[in-house]
Chains A and B, each alone.
Chain A
């Protein structure tokens, strides 16, 4: 099938590339745009490692065709830190609270948690766990991921957080 021109905004930058209609968004991001932060984990829309923010929605980019995202605004883990390299509160939280071990799920976790905090800036622990139910972590047991998100929520809300990592 002939390639078609696909244009979108990724991490604030307008990008354009040729791709077949059957090209999945995750392949478009990783192979055409060299954004290898979003990972391919299960490739079956379960694990959430490929999660990106698409027009204000958390999306599993292994289950969206790039062409469906034509004209969309996308944010990946590469777009989380400030231009000067200052980490986003969520990235800082994952570092401070030991929210990762192998790190494979982390880009999806952080991008998902970003949208969760946009919609609910002050989530309870239960709401955090429900909100990241589409992201699987095989290392941590989630405890410190929850704390990392609580850390970020507190920081973004300007409230001090006393709790330490497990």
Chain B
């Protein structure tokens, strides 16, 4: 399979990339790790006339602490997420999630920015970003702005990114020391998107849930932040009856498609099962 023709650009700064995208118009696409876009181009489902490769922009590759936040450059690969001691120590759910994305080769290429900015509901990191309350830094011709992950996703492949804007960094408030976390993903095989997956971050005080946040992957046109389900759990001991009510509340906001991963009702139920497992896992890790 051979993609359509395009002109290739390799800017060395964000400003240059943004100027290029503005000049080249709507048929130009930014290229990150390429492992979503290039397969689409090979299938001719995407046929950009210009590709602006972000790989030459050094400022997009960094992981740094900034006060109580960690700021991750958009071109940081999943492999680099796995290799980062800072992330493993401070936001370990990112490592747990990255390990469940695709396969080793794809993780060397695939980027965190591409994963969250593409708007593919099958991608794993968006639900984790909703769970963590992350913010996306984006830059366009008219300057920089910050968008909450929870307000970013509008539909399958539709996001709050304006034409010509690129996502430059992800800013995450470091969860409290001693927090519990879990990302549970049901998939048919290595490399598959989730049939359903759930992300949980919680804190416990004296045997009761002090705070809880839940994200769900691939059970709607967008990743889901299950706020009502999480609120049910706060103040509880995560006893079976309360977990059951929270699972029901999470299932209620899902709207999956019936596809090769199973009928919609099955995928909804699997979202509930993944949530129950992620809660149990998170609780066992909380201190």
Contacts and interface: CB of A to CB of B under 8 A. Distances in A.
A57 B79 contact: yes
A63 B109 contact: yes
13 contacts: A21-B5, A22-B2, A22-B3, A44-B39, A63-B38, A64-B38, A65-B38, A68-B31, A68-B55, A112-B104, A131-B104, A133-B104, A134-B106
Contacts of B190: 133-134
A63 B39 contact: yes
Given A22-B5, A58-B105, A59-B105, 15 more contacts: A1-B7, A21-B6, A22-B4, A22-B6, A22-B41, A24-B3, A24-B38, A44-B1, A45-B38, A58-B104, A63-B34, A63-B109, A64-B34, A65-B38, A133-B191
A43 interface: yes
A114 to B, nearest CB: 12
A45 B55 contact: no
B191 A46 contact: yes
B102 interface: yes
A60 B105 contact: yes
Nearest to B103: A134
B34 to A, nearest CB: 6
Contacts of A51: 105
Choose among A27, A59, A65, A131 the residue with the greatest number of B CB atoms under 10 Å from its CB: A65
B105 A134 contact: yes
Nearest to B35: A63
B103 A59 contact: no
A20 B41 CA distance: 15
B34 A21 contact: no
Nearest to A27: B2
* Interface SS of chain A: mixed
A21 B51 contact: yes
Query: Chain B: interface secondary structure?
Result: mixed
B8 A65 contact: yes
A4 B205 CA distance: 62
A90 interface: no
B40 to A, nearest CB: 11
B8 A4 contact: yes
B42 interface: yes
B108 A21 contact: no
A38 interface: no
Interface in B32-50: 34-35, 38-39, 41-42
A24 B8 CA distance: 13
A1 B108 contact: no
Nearest to B37: A63
B30 to A, nearest CB: 13
Contacts of A107: none
A67 interface: yes
A93 interface: no
B89 to A, nearest CB: 20
Contact of A43 (B31, B42, B79): B42
A74 B272 CA distance: 45
Interface string A25-64: 0010000000000000001111010010000011110011
B53 interface: yes
Contacts of B31: 68
